Amino acid sequence: MSFSQAATILAKQLRELQRENAVEGISVGLIDDSNIFEWQVIISGPSDTDYEGGIFKAILKFPHDFPLNPPKMKFISEMYHPNIYPDGDVCISILHAPGDDPMHYETADERWRPVHGVQSVLLSVVSMLNEPNTESPANIEAAKLSRENMGEFKKRVRRTVRRSLESL
Provide the residue count of the chain: 168
- Positions marked catalytic: 91
What phi and psi, each to the nearest 5 degrees, are found at residue 118? -65, -35
Quick one: three-class SS letters along the chain?
CCHHHHHHHHHHHHHHHHCCCCCCCEEEEECCCCCCCEEEEEEECCCCCCCCCCEEEEEEECCCCCCCCCCEEEECCCCCCCCECCCCEECCHHHCCCCCCCCCCCCCCCCCCCCCCHHHHHHHHHHHHHCCCCCCCCCHHHHHHHHHCHHHHHHHHHHHHHHHHHCC
